[in-house]
Amino acid sequence: MNIAKKITLLFAILSAVIITLLSGFVWYFSNEFAFEDFYKRLEARVNIAAEIKFSDDKNNNAYAKVRNQYLERLPDEKEYFIEKNGTSIPKFEMDLPKSFFDNINAGRLSRYRKENHFYAGKLVTRNQQSYIVIVSANDPFGFRELRDLQKILIVGFFLSVFTSFIVGWKFSNYMLNPLRNIIKSVKKIKAENLHLRLDVKGTDEMSQLSQTFNNMLNRLETAFETQNNFISNASHELRTPLTIISGEVELAIRNEDLSDKQFRALTKIRDEAERLEHILTSLLGLAQSGFNGQNQPWEQVRMDELILETQNAVTQVHPESKIEIDFSQLPDDESKITLKANRNLIKLAITNIVSNACKYSNNKPVLITLESKLNVLSIAIKDQGIGIPQGDIQHIFEPFYRASNTSPFKGYGIGLPLSLNIIRLHRGSIGISSQEKIGTEIKVLLPIS
Ligand code: ADP
């Protein structure tokens, strides 16, 4: 999940939690206090009902007058007068809980609510006889208010979460945009255009990040230039004496007065000079491919043609090799097998892998399969050779590394690292699967776009 989505989600979750807590708080206290007023009115009616019922002034009951004049009848209002016998719970038409009567027996005003029906009661003692006086009624207003509040809280919850989602999304985009611009600019900088720099505006953290990148690019460019110079100097400085040695030895070998011992010594010097030249060429190729592909042009390369060229190149050097090619999985669309590449380098990379397959299988058949799926070209090179011991597989892309089973074969351990560098230069990757004494399959994956 990207950072913008994470921030948006965090915003939405945070506001959902806060709004839920706040709504719960409001709901709880509204529930607690919404009926307080109604209970008070019921309790007043309990007192008045008791006074009216047990008043001595039977004919001119002042309380009855007050009630009739000033107190409206509550919806479904009822009065109950129960004679109390000991502490047993009296029989009542409604199922009221024991705690309700316990409170009354303890001399307190007691309350109880069942859905929208409210009860208030108290104990009244007249002429040594105790009575339980209960008044019950409905409270339509309190209930309606609570229901309205519930609706408001639910709508408010969804509105706030939605708003914070939108705000979070806008906010994260606003905050991350400069970072996205930096990423876009950095992606454009490659080995070929290392002189490019990022825009630095202002002094905030993003500008500091751009500045840091620029400083790093300065150092990288200097290092690349140094390496570039070293390679061309080394190439010249090492190649010249080597060519002289080879030339001189070649001349010396032609001398017919040489003894056998001298001839053998000179032949060995010539072979080793050739070997050194080969290593030097591979090493320079490896160094150059690792960072720099601009010396040769990049062009649209049809990979099926390149595979055929590779097959020719390998069979020219090793005529006894048997290379089979499988193009049966290829799509008709030419654009799906064409990619922008450095033709010579990519050919060198594939040739190295195919030559290895022929070499390490003693020229048993090698199968090259070319496929194109989901904008990725895959070139699989499969042999039936000696395979690579399990412990060596992870090291074979390291320069000069050779697996433990390769002693009968000539090699320097440079070909595969060189191929990997070239494939990486083309934003591709190499996969390998191998079983000792059974064979090896090396798969090169290259993105098309
Ligand atoms: P080398 O000159 O030794 O062939 P590479 O860099 O081309 O050097 O290969 C590195 C090592 O990887 C080889 O020494 C060998 O051990 C192993 N290897 C590469 N390809 C194969 C293959 N097709 N079969 C077996 N081993 C291989």
Instruction: Among 273, 291, 309, give the residue marking a domain's end.
Output: 291
Q: Closest by alpha carbon to 357, among 442, 234, 251?
A: 442
Q: Which of 351, 355, 356 to mutate to test the pocket of ligand 1 (most atoms within 8 A of CB)?
A: 356
392 in any annotated domain: yes
CATH number at residue 436: 3.30.565.10
Q: Which of 283, 393, 396 to mutate to test the pocket of ligand 1 (most atoms within 8 A of CB)?
A: 396
Number of domains comprising the chain: 3
183 in any annotated domain: no
| pLDDT reported for residue 86 | 67
Residue closest via CA to ligand 1's atom 2 equals 411
332 in any annotated domain: yes
User: Are residues 110 and 12 both part of a single domain?
Assistant: yes
If DSSP states are collapsed to H, E and C, what string results for 156-194? HHHHHHHHHHHHHHHHHHHHHHHHHHHHHHHHHCCHHHC
User: Are residues 35 and 117 both part of a single domain?
Assistant: yes
Pairing of strands 439-447, 376-383: antiparallel
User: Are residues 303 and 419 both part of a single domain?
Assistant: yes
Q: Quote the CA–CA distance of 324 and 430 in Å, as a whole number.
A: 20
Residues 214 and 207 sit within 8 Å (Cβ to Cβ): no
Q: Give 147 Cα–ligand 1 centroid separation in angstroms.
A: 79
Q: Quote the CA–CA distance of 378 and 329 in Å, as a whole number.
A: 11
377 in any annotated domain: yes
User: Are residues 269 and 369 both part of a single domain?
Assistant: no
Q: Give 416 Cα–ligand 1 centroid separation in angstroms.
A: 7
User: Are residues 354 and 272 both part of a single domain?
Assistant: no
| pLDDT reported for residue 60 | 55
> Which residues have CB under 8 Å from 197's CB, separation 6+?
214, 217
Instruction: Among 291, 315, 332, give the residue marking a domain's end.
Output: 291
8 in any annotated domain: yes
Residue closest via CA to ligand 1's atom 19 equals 356
| pLDDT reported for residue 244 | 92
User: Are residues 278 and 228 both part of a single domain?
Assistant: yes
209 in any annotated domain: yes
Q: In what order do the strands lie in the sheet with 376-383?
A: 323-326, 366-373, 376-383, 439-447, 429-435
Domain hosting 113: range is 3-144
User: Could you give the C-alpha distances from 329 to 107, 339, 384, in angstroms and in order?
Assistant: 95, 17, 22
Residues 186 and 159 sit within 8 Å (Cβ to Cβ): no
Q: Give 340 Cα–ligand 1 centroid separation in angstroms.
A: 28
Q: Quote the CA–CA distance of 109 and 116 in Å, as a whole number.
A: 19
| pLDDT reported for residue 401 | 92
User: Could you give the C-alpha distances from 147 to 114, 153, 216, in angstroms and in order?
Assistant: 16, 10, 64
Q: Give 386 Cα–ligand 1 centroid separation in angstroms.
A: 10
Per run of 10 residues, the mean pLDDT along the chain (length 449 residues) is 86 91 91 84 89 71 73 86 73 78 88 88 86 89 84 93 91 89 86 80 87 91 79 78 92 89 92 81 67 64 94 90 93 90 87 95 95 93 96 92 92 89 89 95 93
Instruction: Among 144, 174, 196, give the residue marking a domain's end.
Output: 144
User: Are residues 428 and 333 both part of a single domain?
Assistant: yes
> Residues with beta carbon inside 6 Å of ligand 1?
352, 356-357, 360, 383, 385-388, 396, 402-403, 406, 411-417, 440
Q: Which of 405, 416, 422, 434 to mutate to test the pocket of ligand 1 (most atoms within 8 A of CB)?
A: 416
Q: Closest by alpha carbon to 268, among 284, 252, 255?
A: 252
188 in any annotated domain: no
Q: Closest by alpha carbon to 338, among 377, 293, 294, 380?
A: 377
Q: Give 243 Cα–ligand 1 centroid separation in angstroms.
A: 28
Following DSSP, what letter does each residue of 110-151 receive, concatenated?
Answer: EEEEETTEEEEEEEEEETTEEEEEEEEEE-HHHHHHHHHHHH
Residue 11 DSSP SS3 = helix
Residue 345 DSSP SS3 = helix
Q: Give 353 Cα–ligand 1 centroid separation in angstroms.
A: 8
Q: Give 355 Cα–ligand 1 centroid separation in angstroms.
A: 9
- Fill in the DSSP letter of residue 93: S
| pLDDT reported for residue 31 | 81
Q: Give 359 Cα–ligand 1 centroid separation in angstroms.
A: 9
Ligand 1 atom at shortest distance from the alpha carbon of 442: 23
Q: Give 412 Cα–ligand 1 centroid separation in angstroms.
A: 9
Q: Which of 283, 382, 388, 401 to mutate to test the pocket of ligand 1 (most atoms within 8 A of CB)?
A: 388
336 in any annotated domain: yes
Q: Quote the CA–CA distance of 392 and 444 in Å, as a whole number.
A: 19
Residue closest via CA to ligand 1's atom 13 equals 402
User: Are residues 214 and 334 both part of a single domain?
Assistant: no
Ligand 1 atom at shortest distance from the alpha carbon of 387: 25
Q: Which of 402, 405, 418 to mutate to test the pocket of ligand 1 (most atoms within 8 A of CB)?
A: 402
Which residue do the tokens 């798969």 mark?
443
User: Are residues 78 and 50 both part of a single domain?
Assistant: yes
Cα 125-128-133 angle, rounded to 5 deg: 25
User: Are residues 312 and 406 both part of a single domain?
Assistant: yes
| pLDDT reported for residue 238 | 85
| pLDDT reported for residue 288 | 65
User: 260-291 vs 415-425: helix axis angle to the nearest 10?
Assistant: 20
| pLDDT reported for residue 294 | 52
Give residue 198's identity as a one-letter amino acid code: L
Q: Quote the CA–CA distance of 287 and 230 in Å, as a whole number.
A: 10
Q: Give 241 Cα–ligand 1 centroid separation in angstroms.
A: 30
Q: Give 190 Cα–ligand 1 centroid separation in angstroms.
A: 30
User: Are residues 286 and 308 both part of a single domain?
Assistant: no
CATH number at residue 284: 1.10.287
Residue 326 DSSP SS3 = strand
Residue closest via CA to ligand 1's atom 14 equals 402
User: Are residues 352 and 214 both part of a single domain?
Assistant: no
Q: Give 277 Cα–ligand 1 centroid separation in angstroms.
A: 20
| pLDDT reported for residue 421 | 86
